[in-house]
Structure 1
Amino acid sequence: MNETTAVTCPLCGDEVHKLIYRFHLESERLVIDKIKEQFPEWTKNDGICSRCLDYYHTELLMQQRMLPEIGPFFPVKSPDDFIILPSALRIDTDVRFTGKGVTICFIDSGFYLHDDLIKTSNRIKKIIDITHPDRTEDFFNTPHPSAWHGTMTSVVCAGDGYCSNGLYKGIAPDAELVLIKVQDDNNQITTDSICKALQWVVENHLIHNIKIVNLSVGADENISYHESGIDQLAEQLIKVGINIVAAAGNDTQVMIKPPANAPNVISIGGVDDANDLTAVPFSYHSSFGTTVDGLYKPELVANAIWIAAPILPRTYEAEEAATLHYALQLSDKELMQFWPDVQKNILFPENGNEKMSVTYCRQLLAKRLMQTKFFSKHYMHVDGTSFAAPLVSGVIAQLLQAKPELDPLNIRRLLFSTAKRLPDVPVVKQGYGYIRPRRALLKILNREVVMKKHASPFINRPKRMIEFHIQNSCAHQISLAGSFNYWAQDVLLMEPCANGSWKIEIPIPPQGTYTYKFLIDDKMWVEDVENPVREPDGFNGWNSVLNV
C-alpha cells in the first residue's frame, strides 16, 4: 500500500492523510453551521480533518450542556484535567484476564522496543523487518518514523502501562508478542510485504505459539477475496486455528479491502463514546458496507477515538510533550523565565505583535496541547479503526486465556453472540454490534461454550441434508424460519441438546439463495452468527443467507 500523500486541513492547518467531505446533513447541520461561524468562507467541498470534526462535535455537546468541560485543556469529560479514560475501563474488560500465555502477532508499519512492552518484562518473542530480514533487534531500538503506528497499536493492545504507573495498560498486558514490520525504506506498505509477513506466520506460528494476528494495515486494491493473496493467506491461517483481526478503515466512502474483506477475518469498525463512561457509543466515520464479493463488513465495532497511545520516545514529539507538561506546572514567574526555552521545543504559530504576557503564554500552551493531543508527557490520544482492532485482539487473548482450546469459529460465535446492538447506529455500520468482553467471558466461566466441528449451516451433501445449530441456554423453544419455508413460524422446531445447544436438519432445498433466522420463544428473532454471509433485514438487524 502506498503511503497516502499528506494534505492540509483548511481549518487547523495540520497535515493529515485524508480529509472528510461527506456529511450527514441532518445530524451534522449544527456542526457545519458552527464551522461557518468561525470560518465564513469554508464550504463542505473544502473538507475537514477528523480531529476538527470531533472537536466541533464536542464543542456543540458542551454548548448543549450534554458534555461538561472538565479541566481547562481538554473539552472532554474526564476524571482529571489531563486524563483520557483507560481503554480497558471503557470497554469493560475483566482485569483478572490479561492474555497471559497467549501470543499475538502484529503486522504493521514498524515498531520500537517501547518500555510498556519490555521494561517490566520483555514480552517480545520475535521482532523482524520483513522488508529487510537481515536487520537485527538493534534496529528497533531506534525510533524510526515508520515505528509510530505499530508501536501504538501493539501498546494499545498489550502494553503494561509502565510509563503511566499502570494506568494505561492495554487489554492484554501479559500477552507475548511477535512483531513484523512491513513498511519498506520508501515508506510504502505493499501487498507483497503483507503477504510475506502472513506467509512467515504460516511457517512459524507453531514455533512461537501464535494464536492471534492483528492487521491495522491493508491493501489498496478492491478485489475478490478469491483473488487476493492477503485474504487467501489469512483464511489459511484461520483454518489452522489462528484468529485474524483487521481494521475496517476510516472512510465511509470507500469499500472495505483486504484483509478486512475476507469472510472469516473479524473486521472491526469504530464508535465514539466521547471519553465518557456514561455515554452510549455513537457512529465514527469508519468504513462499512459490502465487499466486492457482496459480504457485509464490519462484524463488530469498538472504541476508535480518545484512545491512549504512546508518544514515540526520543523524537521531537516526545521532547515537545515533555516541555509542554513541564511548562504547564510552572509558576507565572518561572514560566516567563523559562519561555525562551519553551519556544525552542514547541511549534507555536507566529504571534505577530501580540504581547507575550503570562496569560497569552498559557493560552498558547493550552491551544498547543489541544492540537497535539499530548495529554501527558508519555501518551497522546489517537483515533482510527487501527486502534479499535487491537482492543478486540486483546479481548480475544483474554478469552483464550480463560479457555485455550477455543478455535476461531468459537471465538467468532462468542464475540458476535454477546455483542450489543447500538440503537442509534445503522446495522450496516456496526455488524453484530459493540464488543462486550465481560459477557463473552461470562459464557466461558458459566461453561456455556460448546466446541463444534463445523459452522452453521453445514451442508451434508452425501445425506442431502443441511444442519443448523445455535447456542442458547435460556430458551424454552427455538424454531428455524426462512424463505425456504415461506418464513413459517413454529414449523421447523429445533431439537434441544446438551449444554444449551439446539440443532435441526432439513433436506437441501432447490438450488438458489435463501434467507433465514432463528425464532426464540416465539418473540425474538436472531441471525446465525456462525454464518459470515448476511444481509440487512429492513429492521436494523440481519438475515442470514444460505447459498445452495
Structure 2
Amino acid sequence: MDTPRVPALTPRAAPQLLQLAAEQPSTVISVVVQKQTHDQSIEALLANLGGTIVRDLPIINGFSAKLQAGVIRHLANADGIRWISLDTPVIKQACTGQGCIDPVRLAAAYPQTISADRLWNRATPLRGQGIGVAVLDSGINPQQDLYDNVTWKDRIVASVSYNDGWNQTPYDMYGHGNQVAQIIAGNGSTSNYAYVGIAPRANLINVKVSDDLNQGTATTSSMVAGMQWIYDNRAKYNIRVVNISLTDSVVESYHVSVLDAAVEQLWFNGIVVVVAAGNGGAGSVAAPANDPFVITVGAADDKATSSPNDDTIPTWSSYGPTIDGFAKPDLVAPGVSITAPMPVPNNSLAQTYPANVTAGLNGTRNFTMSGTSVAAPIVAGAVALLLQDEPNLTPDQVKYRLMATAKPIGSAAQSGAGEINIQRAVDATTTQSANTGTAISQLNNDGSSPTTWTSTTWSTAKWSTAKWSTAKWSTAKWSTSAQIMTPPRTKTK
C-alpha cells in the first residue's frame, strides 16, 4: 500500500481565501481561525483589523469570525496563526425526489438486509438500550416513535442548537434530521411496526447544526461547535456514537480540515463517528468522510428485498481514494429508497418533493429518501446494538469488527469491506483494532512531526492536551454533491 502523502507547505490560509483577498478585498466573509497559541493575541489582532468573533471553538483551539477579505493575508502572516479556513457550507448527503418486534410486519427491507431484526428478540434483546447516539443534523422533533415503547419515556434525552439561520430552536422543520433519527431509533409504533429503526430503544442526543431553510445548510463552525458540545457532554448522556450525514463542500486533505481534526478528537475519546460518504461518485470524498479513522459509509441498493444477495452499489455513492491516498468508504449499507415516518407533515422536504410522501396509518405520513445520508444512520444504529452487547469495545475495535464481518459486494473500491451485517458483528469475538499506524491529522499533532495512532497513543486524549504546532498544507479544491431522485417502494420477500 502506498504511504499517504503529507501535504506540501503553503501559506497559512486556504487558497480560496487568498484569492478572495486579492479580487474582492472589501467583501465581508466568514472564516474559521486556528491558533498555535493559547493566549488572546490573535483575537486582539482580529479586532484591530476590524473583524468580529462569532463563536469560540476550543475543540480546535480556534474561533469563527467575520472580517473583510482584504485583511486575510495580514492575519495569515501573524505569529500564532495555525490556519485560516473559509467557513464553508456543509452539504446534506441525502437525495430526495420521485422516486417484541414482529419482523413480518416490516415494510422496509433494510433492517433484515443487515440482520438487525435477528437481534431485537434474542433472550437478551439488543435494541440499543442505554446507548446514546448523537445526531449532528437539522434537529429532531419530539414524536411518538422516539419514545421508549416499554417505559414510554422520551428517548430524545438532550437537545441543543448551533445553526445560524432561521429557527434556532432544536426542532426540525426541514425534515432531514427527523428522517435520520427515525432510521437510527424509531420504535415503529405509529406505523404498526412497518418502519422500525435499527436500534429502537437507543437514546438520541439532538445536536442541531443546520438550517431549516437553504436546503438544510450547515457551516464548518456550527458543526465544530456541535462536536464540542458532544465532547463536553459525552459522559452525561453516555454518547457512544455520533451520526454525521453531511460533508464539506470542499475536497481537501484531512491534514487541513478542521472537521477532520474535530471528528478525530471525538474518536480518540471513545465515540464511534459514522459519516456519510457523499453522493458524488468516484473521487469525491470530502471531510469528514475523508478522515482515515472514522467509519465512512457508502450506499447499497437492497432492491427492496430482505436478502443481501441481490444488492448492488449505485453509481452515485462516493468513493475514493481520498486526496491523501486512503480507500473510502469503509463499508456500505442500504441507501436507496429508505422510507420512515414523517412527524412534521409540512416540512421543507415534503413541500419540495411531494411525490416522495406516502400515506401512513391514522392520518400519518411517511417520506422516502435516497443517499449515503440515509445509509450512515443504518450503520450508526447497528453500532448502538454492538455497543449494548459489548460496551467496552473501542471505536477502533468497532470499526475492525464491522469491516471483518461485512458481506463483500461489488468492487472493493466502491464498497470497501462490503455491506454491514450486524448479527455477524455481534456474534464475532475478535477484538483487533483498525487504524493502527495511521497518521493523525496534523491539526492534532503534539509537535512538528507526524504522530501515528496505536491503541495506547492517547489512552485518555483530551482537547486541553492537544498542542497546535506548525503544519504542512495542501491546496483546497471546491466540489459539488449529486442529487439522486428515487421513488418510494415497498419490500418484497
State TM-score, norm by structure 2.
0.61
Residue type of the alignment partner of 2:404: S
Match of 1:122 in 2: 154
CA distance in 2, matches of 1:458, 1:289: 17
Q: State the shift of 1:190 in Å.
A: 0.8
Aligned-pair identity (%)? 31
* Alpha-carbon contact 1:406-1:451 (below 8 Å) kept: no
* Structure 1: gaps spanning 5 or more residues: 6-15, 19-49, 56-78, 321-346, 348-367, 460-465, 470-548
Larger helix percent = 1
Q: State the shift of 1:112 in Å.
A: 1.8
**Residues 319, 391 of structure 1: alpha-carbon distance in 2 compared, 3 angstrom cutoff:** closer
* Alpha-carbon contact 2:267-2:293 (below 8 Å) kept: yes
Q: Aligned ranges for residues 38-57 of structure 1 at < 5 Å?
A: none
Residue type of the alignment partner of 1:282: T
CA distance in 2, matches of 1:392, 1:17: 15
Match of 2:302 in 1: 273
Match of 1:218 in 2: 247
Among 374, 383, 388, which residue is 1:396 paired with?
383
Q: State the shift of 1:277 in Å.
A: 2.1
* Alpha-carbon contact 2:110-2:306 (below 8 Å) kept: no
What is the alpha-carbon root mean square deviation over aligned residues?
A: 3.6
Larger Rg, first or second structure (1 or 2): 1
Aligned length: 337
**Residues 185, 84 of structure 1: alpha-carbon distance in 2 compared, 3 angstrom cutoff:** closer
Match of 2:193 in 1: 166
Q: Deviation per CA, 1:312-354: give whole Å up to 9, x if none.
A: 424279999xxxxxxxxxxxxxxxxxxxxxxxxxx9xxxxxxx
Is the partner of 2:236 in helix, strand or coil? helix
* Alpha-carbon contact 2:131-2:239 (below 8 Å) kept: yes
Among 190, 201, 206, which residue is 1:179 paired with?
206
Greater RCO, 1 or 2 (C-alpha within 8 Å, sep 6+):
2
**Residues 241, 316 of structure 1: alpha-carbon distance in 2 compared, 3 angstrom cutoff:** closer
Structure 1 moving runs of 4+ over 6 Å: 316-320
Q: State the shift of 1:296 in Å.
A: 1.2
Among 286, 293, 296, which residue is 2:327 paired with?
296
Q: State the shift of 1:107 in Å.
A: 0.2
Match of 1:113 in 2: 142
Match of 1:449 in 2: 430
Match of 1:485 in 2: none
> Given the alignment of the two structures, is residue 85 of structure 1 paired with residue 69 of structure 2, yes or no?
no
* Structure 2: gaps spanning 5 or more residues: 1-87, 440-451, 456-493
State TM-score, norm by structure 1.
0.56
Residue type of the alignment partner of 1:248: A
Q: State the shift of 1:254 in Å.
A: 5.1
Residue type of the alignment partner of 2:114: I
**Residues 150, 294 of structure 1: alpha-carbon distance in 2 compared, 3 angstrom cutoff:** same
**Residues 273, 205 of structure 1: alpha-carbon distance in 2 compared, 3 angstrom cutoff:** same
* Alpha-carbon contact 2:278-2:284 (below 8 Å) kept: no
Residue type of the alignment partner of 2:430: V
CA distance in 2, matches of 1:263, 1:164: 38
Q: Deviation per CA, 1:163-187: give whole Å up to 9, x if none.
A: 1123311111111111111124763
Among 425, 435, 442, which residue is 1:440 paired with?
425
CA distance in 1, matches of 2:350, 2:436: 54
* Alpha-carbon contact 1:86-1:168 (below 8 Å) kept: no
> Given the alignment of the two structures, is residue 409 of structure 1 paired with residue 396 of structure 2, yes or no?
yes
**Residues 319, 155 of structure 1: alpha-carbon distance in 2 compared, 3 angstrom cutoff:** closer
Match of 1:153 in 2: 180
Match of 2:46 in 1: none
Is the partner of 1:434 in helix, strand or coil? coil
Is the partner of 1:97 in helix, strand or coil? coil
**Residues 230, 316 of structure 1: alpha-carbon distance in 2 compared, 3 angstrom cutoff:** closer
Is the partner of 1:99 in helix, strand or coil? coil
CA distance in 1, matches of 2:115, 2:90: 35
* Alpha-carbon contact 2:137-2:209 (below 8 Å) kept: yes
* Alpha-carbon contact 2:146-2:187 (below 8 Å) kept: yes
CA distance in 2, matches of 1:183, 1:216: 11
CA distance in 1, matches of 2:437, 2:182: 38
**Residues 316, 4 of structure 1: alpha-carbon distance in 2 compared, 3 angstrom cutoff:** closer
> Given the alignment of the two structures, is residue 429 of structure 1 paired with residue 461 of structure 2, yes or no?
no
Q: State the shift of 1:378 in Å.
A: 2.5
Q: State the shift of 1:161 in Å.
A: 1.1
